[in-house]
A and B are shown apart, each in its own frame.
Chain A
Amino acid sequence: MMQTKKIQEQIAFTVFRLLGFLVLGVLLWILGFIVYNGISVISWEFIFSAPTDGMTGGGIFPAIVGTFYLIIGSTLFAFPLGIMSAIYTVEYTKNNWLTKCIRIMTNNLASIPSIVFGLFGMTLFVNTLGFGDSIIAGSLTLGLLILPVVIRTTEEALKAVPKTYRLGSTALGANKIQTIKRVVLPTAFPNIITGLILSIGRVSGETAPILFTVAAYFLPKLPHSIFDQVMALPYHLYVLATSGTDIEAARPIAYGTALVLIFIVLLMNSLAVIIKKRFEKNK
C-alpha cells in the first residue's frame, strides 16, 4: 500500500519535472536557433547601415532608430499618465465602486488584442486627428497598449509600501501630496521602475499596433519630425520573413533582425532584474 503510493508520487513528480524542463527546453530551442543563425550576421555594419539591394543586403539601422523613437514616444506618454492613474486608485480613492470600475476597465484594456489597438490608433490618431502614418500616431497607440501594464505594476508597487510609512509622514505634519512625493514614491520606486522597463520590452516587440499607424515597409532615411514615418524592428522582421522581394536571400538578415529584437527584450528583462536586486540589497 505504502509502496504504490510512493511509486505513484515518484511517477507524477518525474512527469512534472520533465514538463518543467520541457518548457525550459522550448525557450532554449527558440533562443538557440535565433542566436545560432543570427550571430554571424551581426556586425557594426549590420547595425549602423541602411538596407540595400531590395532588403537582401545592408543593415537595419533605420529600423533600430525607428523602434528607439517609438519606445521614447510611447513611454513619454504612458509612464506619467499610468503612474498618476495608479497613484489615484491606490492613494486617493477608498475601496468603492469607482476603484472597482477603474480596475475592471484596466483589466479589460489589458486584454484587448493588440490588433484592435492598431485599428483604434488608425481611426483616431491617423485619420480623425490627422496625424497620418507618423511616429506620434504610433507612439500614442503603443502608449495606450502599455498603459494597463504601467498602471498595474505601479499599483502593486504602491500597495507594497507599508501603511505605517504613510501614517508616520502624516504624523510629522506632511500633507497627502507631500507624503506621496517624499515617502511613498521613493519607497515604491524600485518596483515601479521594474514594471516600466518590462513595458519597454513590450513596446519594442509589438507589431500589430504599428502596422497601420507608423511602420514603413522600406524607408532608408531617418525621420526628421514626429510626423514622419519610420521603419521598426518587429515590422521589418515580418516584412523580411514574409513579403520581401527575395525571401530566401533576405533570410540571413531576418535572423539578424530577430536576434537584435530578442537582444533588446533580454536586455530589458535583465535590467529589470538587476535594478530590483540592487534596490532590495540597499534596503
Chain B
Amino acid sequence: MKRLIDTLIEQLIKMSGAVTEITVLLIIVFLFKEGAGLFNASEVEKGYTVLVHSENTVERLSPKELKEVFDGNIENWEKLGGKDEAIRIFRFDEIFSIYTEDELGKDYVLLPEKLEEVISADPTIIAYIPQKYLPTNLQGIKELAKMNISLTDFYIGKEWIPTATPAPLFGILPLLLGTLLVSFIAILIAIPLGVGVAIYLAEIANERVRKLLKPAIELLAGIPSVVYGFFGLVVIAPIIQKIGGLDLGETAFAGSLVLAIMALPTIISIAEDAMRTIPKAMRDASLALGATKWQTIYKVIIPFASSGIAAAVVLGIGRAIGETMAVLMVTGNAAVIPNSIFESVRTIPATIAAELGEAPGGGAHYQALFMLGCVLFIITLIISIVAEVISSRKIIKE
C-alpha cells in the first residue's frame, strides 16, 4: 500500500515537470487563437454593412477612408476614386425621420424596402445600416466590398479608435510608442539609482546598513502595483502638475517615475547578485596593486559584473513594459502618439485593462485587444531571452 502511494507520488512529480511548458503553450495557443481572428474580421462593425448607389464606381474603402467619410473629413467621391460628387452620408437613424413608425410597418417589416427606396434614389449616398435590415433585392444598390482588417492597418496604423463607427481603427502605433516612451524614461531614471544602490550594497555598505536596506528593497518589490498607482495618482501626478504648470499631472512622466520606483528592486537585486559573484581574489589583487576601493569598483568590479548589470537592466525594462495597473492609473490614457513626456499617453497593458471590459466578446475590438496581448507577450519573451543570453555570456576574456 505504502509503496503504491510512493509510486503514485513519483508519477505525479514526473508529470508536473511539464506544467510550465504546458502553461506557456496554452497561453500561446489561446492568445493567438483569439487575436488572429482580428485579421479575419471585417473592417465594418459586426452586424452592419455599408451600402452605396449601384452606379457608384467606388467598390471598396479602407477603414481609414470609411472613418474619414463618416467623420465628414472627406466630402467628395472624387477623393475616393469616384465621380466628382459630394458625398451624402446616410446614417441608419435618419430613416425614422423620413418615415413614420406606421409606414415602416409592424416590427419594421417594411424597413428594408424603404431603405432601398432612399438609397437607390440618390447616386451620391453612402449608408451605414444593420445587416438585418439589408434590402432583399439589391436593385439600384450595392454593398461595398468588405475588406478585412490587415496586418499593416494594425501594426503601422497611427490611430487607435476602437469604438469609431462604422469602421473602428486599430492602429497600435500610438500604444506601442506610449509603452516604449514610458518604459524608456523609467529605465533612464532607474539605471543610475539601481546600479548605484547595488554597488553600495555589494561593496561599500557595512553589515548593519545592509540589514536595513535589503529588507526595505524586498518590501519595495512587494508593494502591490495598484498601491503604487494610487500613490502616483494622489501624490506624484499633482506634484508634476504643480512643478510643470500643466493642466493635468497624469502624464507619461508620472508613469515613468512610478515605473522607475517599481523597477528598482529588480535592478538592484540582480545587479547586486552579479557583483557578489565576483571572486574575492579579483578584489584583493586590485587592492594589492595599490588601487583605492573606488578604483577597484569602477575598474574591476563594474566591468566584471557588466553582463549581470546589463541583464538586470533588461529585466527591469521587461518589468516596466508589462506593468499594467500603476501605469493605467497615472498616465492619463490618451491613445495618441505622444509628442512630449509631459503629455498623456496610453500603454499597451493599460489599454487592455481599460477596454476589455467594454469590448463585446468575439468582436473585432475584443480580438484586437487579444492581439495587443500577443504583441506584449512577444516583446516580453524577447526581453527575457535577451536577458538570459546576456547573463549566461562568458565575460572572462584573455
- Once A23-B197, A108-B384 are accepted as A-B contacts, the answer to whether A102 and B20 lie under 8 Å apart by CB is yes
Q: Mark A134-152, 1 if CB is under 8 A from B, else 0.
A: 0000000000100110010
**B321 interface contact, C-beta 8 A:** yes
How many interface residues does chain A have, given as a range?
Answer: 35 or more
In Å, the complex CA distance between A120 and B323 comes to 16
| Total number of residue pairs linking A and B with CB closer than 8 Å | 256
**A68 interface contact, C-beta 8 A:** no
Contact partner, B388, options A34, A107, A123, A254, Cβ 8 Å: A107
CB contact list, A86-114 vs B, under 8 A: 87-89, 91-93, 101-102, 104-114
7 extra A-B contacts, CB within 8 A, seeds A20-B205, A112-B27, A116-B376: A23-B220, A104-B385, A118-B352, A208-B349, A241-B230, A242-B233, A273-B215
In Å, the complex CA distance between A106 and B388 comes to 12
Contact partner, A208, options B217, B219, B353, B357, Cβ 8 Å: B353
Contacts of B217 on A, CB cut-off 8 Å?
A: 23, 27
**B10 interface contact, C-beta 8 A:** yes
Contacts of B381 on A, CB cut-off 8 Å?
A: 108, 111-112
Chain B residue nearest in CB terms to A88:
B17
In Å, the complex CA distance between A13 and B297 comes to 11
In Å, the complex CA distance between A9 and B193 comes to 18
**A261 interface contact, C-beta 8 A:** yes
CB distance from B19 to the nearest CB of A (A): 5
In Å, the complex CA distance between A106 and B298 comes to 34
Chain B residues at the A interface, C-beta cutoff of 8 Å: 6-7, 9-10, 12-14, 16-21, 23-24, 26-27, 30-31, 33-34, 192-193, 196-197, 199-201, 204-205, 209, 212-213, 215-220, 222-231, 233-235, 261, 264, 268, 292-295, 297-298, 315, 318, 321-325, 329, 349, 352-353, 356-357, 361, 369-370, 373, 376-377, 380-381, 383-385, 388
Chain B residue nearest in CB terms to A30:
B231
In Å, the complex CA distance between A207 and B225 comes to 8
- The interface-forming segment of A47-55, A159-167, A198-206 is A198-206
Is the CB–CB distance between A109 and B380 below 8 Å?
A: no
Contacts of A157 on B, CB cut-off 8 Å?
A: none
Contacts of A92 on B, CB cut-off 8 Å?
A: 13-14, 17
- Once A111-B384, A128-B30 are accepted as A-B contacts, the answer to whether A269 and B218 lie under 8 Å apart by CB is yes
Contact partner, B197, options A20, A111, A204, Cβ 8 Å: A20
Is the CB–CB distance between B216 and A119 below 8 Å?
A: no
CB distance from A143 to the nearest CB of B (A): 10
Is the CB–CB distance between A206 and B224 below 8 Å?
A: yes
Is the CB–CB distance between B193 and A111 below 8 Å?
A: no
Is the CB–CB distance between A101 and B227 below 8 Å?
A: no
Is the CB–CB distance between B230 and A254 below 8 Å?
A: yes
Q: Mark A175-207, 1 if CB is under 8 A from B, else 0.
A: 111100100000000000000001001101111
Is the CB–CB distance between B224 and A89 below 8 Å?
A: no
- Once A30-B231, A238-B229, A273-B215 are accepted as A-B contacts, the answer to whether A207 and B324 lie under 8 Å apart by CB is yes
In Å, the complex CA distance between A69 and B204 comes to 44
Is the CB–CB distance between B6 and A33 below 8 Å?
A: no
Contact partner, A85, options B9, B17, B196, B353, Cβ 8 Å: B17
Cross-chain pairs A/B with CB under 8 angstroms, 21 sampled: A5-B294, A9-B293, A20-B196, A23-B264, A101-B21, A109-B23, A111-B315, A112-B27, A115-B353, A115-B373, A116-B322, A116-B373, A118-B353, A123-B30, A123-B33, A128-B30, A144-B23, A148-B20, A177-B9, A208-B325, A238-B230
Is the CB–CB distance between B196 and A15 below 8 Å?
A: yes
Is the CB–CB distance between A111 and B233 below 8 Å?
A: no
- Once A109-B24, A205-B223 are accepted as A-B contacts, the answer to whether A238 and B329 lie under 8 Å apart by CB is yes
Q: Mark A1-31, 1 if CB is under 8 A from B, else 0.
A: 0000110110011011101101110110010
Contacts of B293 on A, CB cut-off 8 Å?
A: 9, 13
Contacts of B6 on A, CB cut-off 8 Å?
A: 175, 177-178, 181
Contacts of A106 on B, CB cut-off 8 Å?
A: 20
Is the CB–CB distance between A201 and B222 below 8 Å?
A: yes
**A234 interface contact, C-beta 8 A:** yes
Contacts of A84 on B, CB cut-off 8 Å?
A: 12-13, 16-17
Contacts of B19 on A, CB cut-off 8 Å?
A: 81-82, 85, 147
Contacts of A19 on B, CB cut-off 8 Å?
A: 192-193, 196-197, 200
Is the CB–CB distance between B14 and A88 below 8 Å?
A: yes
CB contact list, A204-259 vs B, under 8 A: 204-208, 211-212, 234-235, 237-238, 241-242, 251, 254, 258
CB distance from A233 to the nearest CB of B (A): 9
Chain A residue nearest in CB terms to B16:
A84
Is the CB–CB distance between A119 and B315 below 8 Å?
A: no
Is the CB–CB distance between A207 and B226 below 8 Å?
A: yes
Contacts of A20 on B, CB cut-off 8 Å?
A: 196-197, 200-201, 205, 209, 213
Is the CB–CB distance between B224 and A265 below 8 Å?
A: yes
- Once A111-B315, A115-B352, A237-B226 are accepted as A-B contacts, the answer to whether A269 and B215 lie under 8 Å apart by CB is yes
Chain B residue nearest in CB terms to A175:
B6
Contact partner, B325, options A24, A91, A124, A207, Cβ 8 Å: A207
Is the CB–CB distance between B295 and A24 below 8 Å?
A: no
CB distance from A76 to the nearest CB of B (A): 14
The 3 tightest CB contacts between A and B, nearest first, are: A205-B224, A113-B322, A88-B17
**A127 interface contact, C-beta 8 A:** yes
Chain B residue nearest in CB terms to A20:
B200
In Å, the complex CA distance between A268 and B264 comes to 21
Is the CB–CB distance between A119 and B31 below 8 Å?
A: yes
Is the CB–CB distance between A265 and B322 below 8 Å?
A: no
CB distance from B330 to the nearest CB of A (A): 10
In Å, the complex CA distance between A114 and B322 comes to 7
**A71 interface contact, C-beta 8 A:** no
Is the CB–CB distance between B21 and A105 below 8 Å?
A: yes
Chain A residue nearest in CB terms to B370:
A119
CB distance from B350 to the nearest CB of A (A): 9
In Å, the complex CA distance between A64 and B286 comes to 55
Is the CB–CB distance between A24 and B213 below 8 Å?
A: yes
In Å, the complex CA distance between A23 and B218 comes to 11
In Å, the complex CA distance between A177 and B4 comes to 12
Is the CB–CB distance between B20 and A212 below 8 Å?
A: no
Contacts of B318 on A, CB cut-off 8 Å?
A: 111
Chain A residue nearest in CB terms to B377:
A116
**A262 interface contact, C-beta 8 A:** yes
